[in-house]
Every structure is written in structure tokens, then in C-alpha cells.
């Protein structure tokens, strides 16, 4: 998060909420994670992690709500969230102000098009909520049309308790950050490749310098 220049809250019990999209393109699995970390009254960092999906389910990929395709939230940090009722049914963390950026998956297949769709910015109701009201849900299906969705109902209740503590101390304003492991790995690979290329270049210059210094010119 620091490498991206994203804000990290350090006040006691002010939540940092981070979604991590896994290195997987299976659209119907709860194979991502949501992490919540914060400091306590003694300045010690606390961390909670739960299974979720940051991607839409297969149902909505095949039958998108929007004519330009199903929304996939883009990697980034969004200051757009607050406690509100998800679709008027139960309390969740909802996009109540500000904009988010989504990628529209428009080809109605079962593959998640993270990089090939059209980007759109706006208010799309990309909320953070749960799947079933009890137990652990195995497949995403209709539970996400682009929202960030907890697999387990008890985990979601624990998350909302933390959110309520934050709301009482700091008001109804939350930051949500989404990180894609594939993007991180691509960035690391580019960095490593750059250092390797630099090392090879320095090595080549060293060999040429050694040859120039040690090889005597022919006498005329």
C-alpha cells in the first residue's frame, strides 16, 4: 500500500480495509481475502482476515445488469464508503459517496476480463456485504454483480462490529483499498528484470573495460 502511495490510517481503531484479489481467474469462487488492520489504544497493530470475492459471479457475467457489461472493481483506493443498508435489506459497508472505477466485462462468457474491458467511473453501488445470512456460501453466483462479498455470515458480522466502532469514533466515512496480486507480481517481475538488465549491462562494461586496459595495441 505504501508503494502505491495509498493512505494508511494509524489512529486507534480507525480501520484500514484492504481487499486482495487472488491470482485466479475463476469467477464463481470465494478465493479472495479482505483484511482489516488498525492500531489499538497502545499503538499495537491488529489484523483480521476473511475469505471473500472481489469479482462478480458467473450468473451476472452471463446476464449483466448494465448494457456495457458486468462491473469488476479496479485496483485502487476509494474514499467512498459508509455504513448503510445494502439494497435496503441489512447493514453493510456501502458506496454512499464519491466514485469508484470499474472495468466492464462485456462478452458474457465465464472468464473475468480484468484488463480488456472498458473502464467507467461513477456510483455503481459496489458495496461490501455478505452472501447468505447464515453459514458459509460455496459459490458466488448471484451474490455479487461487482460487489465485494464475504463468504461467511459470522465473519461479516465481526467485520460490521469493527465498522461500527470506527463509525462511533470517526464518523461514517471509510476507505476501501483493492490490491490485485497479479499486478503486484507483474510489477515485481518488471523490477527484477530491470535489475538483471542493469547487472548484465554493468558486467558487460566491466569486461570491455578489462579488455581495453589489458590488450596492448599492435606496433606499427
Q: Beta strands of 9-97 (E only): which ranges?
A: 16-21, 32-39, 45-53, 70-73, 76-86, 90-95
Predicted confidence at residue 62, as pLDDT, reads: 83
pLDDT in tens, the chain (220 residues): 999 999 999 999 999 999 999 987 677 999 999 999 999 999 999 999 999 999 999 888 887 887 778 889 999 999 999 999 999 999 999 999 899 999 986 555 556 666 667 899 999 999 999 999 999 999 999 999 999 999 999 999 999 999 999 999 999 999 999 999 876 654 554 454 455 556 666 765 666 666 666 655 444 3
Predicted confidence at residue 68, as pLDDT, reads: 79
Predicted confidence at residue 208, as pLDDT, reads: 64
Predicted confidence at residue 181, as pLDDT, reads: 85
Question: In the numeric block, which cell numbers belong to residue 113?
Answer: 476480463
Separation CA 75–CA 106 (nearest Å):
19
Q: CA dist 208 to 51, 212, 214, Å? A: 55, 6, 10
Cα–Cα nearest to 51, from 20, 25, 76: 20
Which 3-state string (H, E, C) describes 163-192? Answer: HHHHHHHHCCCEEEEEEEHHHHHHHHHHHH
The residues near 10 (Cβ < 8 Å, ≥ 6 apart) are: 39
Longest dimension (CA), the chain: 95
User: Bridge-partner residues for 131, per DSSP?
Assistant: none
Q: Are 17 and 8 in contact (CB under 8 A)?
A: no
The torsion of the CA quartet 177, 61, 112, 104, rounded to 10 degrees, works out to -60
Q: Are 49 and 33 in contact (CB under 8 A)?
A: yes
User: Bridge-partner residues for 72, per DSSP?
Assistant: 103
Which letter does DSSP use for residue 31 in this model? -
Question: In the numeric block, which cell numbers belong to residue 71?
Answer: 462491473
Predicted confidence at residue 85, as pLDDT, reads: 98
Amino acid at each position: 500500500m505504501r508503494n502505491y502511495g495509498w493512505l494508511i490510517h494509524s489512529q486507534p481503531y480507525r480501520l484500514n480495509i484492504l481487499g486482495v484479489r487472488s491470482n485466479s481467474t475463476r469467477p464463481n469462487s470465494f478465493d479472495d481475502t479482505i483484511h482489516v488492520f488498525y492500531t489499538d489504544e497502545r499503538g499495537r497493530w491488529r489484523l483480521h482476515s476473511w475469505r471473500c470475492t472481489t469479482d462478480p459471479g458467473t450468473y451476472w457475467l452471463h446476464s449483466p445488469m448494465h448494457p456495457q457489461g458486468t462491473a469488476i472493481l479496479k485496483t485502487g483506493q476509494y474514499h467512498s464508503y459508509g455504513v448503510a443498508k445494502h439494497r435496503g435489506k441489512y447493514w453493510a459497508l456501502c458506496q454512499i459517496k464519491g466514485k469508484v472505477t470499474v472495468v466492464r466485462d462485456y462478452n458474457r462468457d465465464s472468464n473475468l476480463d480484468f484488463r480488456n474491458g472498458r473502464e467507467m467511473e461513477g456510483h455503481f453501488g459496489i458495496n461490501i456485504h455478505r452472501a447468505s445470512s447464515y453459514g458459509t456460501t460455496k459459490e458466488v453466483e448471484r451474490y455479487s454483480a461487482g460487489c465485494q462479498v464475504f463468504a461467511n455470515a459470522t465473519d461479516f458480522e465481526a467485520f460490521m462490529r469493527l465498522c461500527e466502532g470506527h463509525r462511533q469514533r470517526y464518523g461514517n466515512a471509510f476507505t476501501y483499498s483493492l490490491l490485485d496480486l497479479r499486478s503486484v507480481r507483474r510489477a515485481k517481475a518488471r523490477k527484477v528484470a530491470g535489475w538483471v538488465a542493469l547487472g548484465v549491462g554493468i558486467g558487460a562494461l566491466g569486461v570491455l573495460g578489462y579488455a581495453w586496459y589489458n590488450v596492448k595495441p599492435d606496433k606499427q
